[in-house]
Each structure stands twice: as C-alpha cells, then as structure tokens.
Amino acid sequence: MAVASSAYKKALSGESKNKQVLLKIDRVTKKFDETVAVDDVSVSIHQGEIFALLGGSGSGKSTLLRMLAGFERPTEGRIFLDGQDITDLPPYERPINMMFQSYALFPHMSVEQNIAFGLRQDGLAKAEIDERVKEMLGLVQMTQYAKRKPHQLSGGQRQRVALARSLAKRPKLLLLDEPMGALDKKLRSQMQLELVQIIERVGVTCVMVTHDQEEAMTMAERIAIMHQAGSPRSAARWTSTRPRPAAWSANSSATSTCSTAS
C-alpha cells in the first residue's frame, strides 16, 4: 500500500495543538458481499469542526455517514467518539443526530411538535421540553411558525425545522446528508451560510456529505474527497473564516491513502 504524503496525513488527521479530537475513524472498511463500499478509512475530526465528505455516487460517502450514525456496522475498523468506542452501539445509544436530505418531518405534526418529538421519546419533563423547543425555535428564527405544519412551510423553512429537531437533543455530533439536496438552486447559497452560522453558534461538531464541490468549500473547514470504492485520495483544509483553500493530494497510485492518517 502506498504511503500518503505528510501534508495529506496532517490534513486528514486534523493535526492541531489547540483542538481536541472528538471523532476518530480508525481504518474503517465496509463490504457488501464482495463489493467494497468504504476502503480502509482513517480520519480525525475536531471538536466544533464542520467536516465534509465530498464525492459522487458510489464513492462511499453516504455509507460512511451511516456507519457513524449506527445504521451500518463496519466490516473492519473502529469508530471512537469523545474517546469511547461506539462501533457496536445501536443508533439510539449514540449521542449523534442526523439530518436527512428529505428532512423526514412528520406531516401531521406542527413545527414545535416535530422539534419536541425526540425529547418526548427520551422521556424529558414537559417543562424541559418546552424550554428546549422555545430555544430551538429562536435559534432557527421559526418562533412565529411554531403552530404550522410542514406543508405550510417553504423548503428553507423545513430545513430549519429539521436542523432544530436534530439539535434539540444536544448531540455531540451532527450528521448532514446532502443538506442542500432538496432545495432549488436559488435557495442553496443563502441556506449554506445560514446553516453554517447556526451550527457554529451552537458549537456542535458536524460531518456532512455532499456531491457539490462549491457547497463543501462554502460550508466546511476541511474536506475529504471520496473516490470510487470509498477511498479518500485528497484533502483540503482552511480556517473557519473560509478564505481561499490550500489543497493537498496524496500519491495518485495509492490504493487507500487515508489509511496512514494518524
């Protein structure tokens, strides 16, 4: 197996003296029968970071996200969150929430009921639920729409509600599956920046998957570019102020270049 360049390893390992590693993906492989969907991936992600997995169809980015959520189990490798091995934990035991591309809002529930749903499932007291729902409505600027049903909202408003529901449980890790995929082109640029502002205000660590390079570069601090068979071969890293990025590429002959990331 070819060895990745030192700059590439630093980019994927998230090397920093000032930030704590929250999520560590350690040599994770996923096979479906004989088909390799994710190939020997190692990535470290910092507390409070927005990290993007960028790639086309069949690159393994969504499969990797599903393994983080607990919907799929790795064939090989381990996943650590805040120092705890969560590889074998079911989704409901992980302090992780996922915002789906379709938003998956309950059509028969109001905005506030959708946000409260997970909190009720967890058995929180009514006063605590009401307080968190109020907090989330304010955070995403949807207080005036609390009683409306999803079909009465615009695409951007539905996205805000889905984000509020995901954040209401105060997860350690937020997963975004093609967050702009359900929006028309006109709304995407506006919502990209709005989503980043909300996530950074809360301070939650975020991993997003997207096929859109512009979206990844607008929203994320670092990017892993996923190629066929789930093998990231290049990475970009820049500061949260998002100036022009610096990019690194690993040896083009590498089979799985991020396997050497520390």
Residue 157 reports pLDDT greater than 80: yes
Residue 259 reports pLDDT greater than 50: no
What per-residue confidence (pLDDT) applies to 13?
Answer: 52
Domains and CATH numbers, the chain: 48-68+87-249 (3.40.50.300)
Q: Read off the pLDDT band of 244 (50, 70, 90).
A: very low
To 10 degrees, the CA torsion angle through 106, 112, 115, 117? -70
Query: Do 115 and 168 touch, CB atoms closer than 8 A?
Result: yes
Q: What is the DSSP letter of 257?
A: G
Residue 168 reports pLDDT greater than 70: yes
What per-residue confidence (pLDDT) applies to 178?
Answer: 86
Higher pLDDT, 257 or 77: 77
Q: Mind listing the pLDDT tens digit for each residue in 184-233?
A: 677 777 788 888 888 988 899 999 999 888 888 888 989 988 876 555 55
Percent share of the chain, pLDDT over 90: 46
56 to 141, 178, 194: CA distances (angstroms): 33, 11, 25
Q: Read off the pLDDT band of 246 (50, 70, 90).
A: very low
151 to 58, 238, 256: CA distances (angstroms): 32, 38, 44
Provide the sign of the torsion angle of the four alpha carbons 35, 39, 180, 136, taken in this order. positive
Give strand pairing partners of 29: 76
Q: Distance between CA atoms of 180 and 195, rounded to whole angstroms?
A: 10
Tokens read off for 94: 């992980």
77 to 131, 171, 174, 254, 260: CA distances (angstroms): 40, 23, 21, 19, 13
Residue 258 reports pLDDT greater than 60: no
Q: Mind listing the pLDDT tens digit for each residue in 123-152?
A: 999 999 999 999 999 998 899 999 999 999
Q: Mind listing the pLDDT tens digit for each residue in 1-51?
A: 333 334 434 444 555 445 799 999 999 999 999 888 998 899 999 999 999
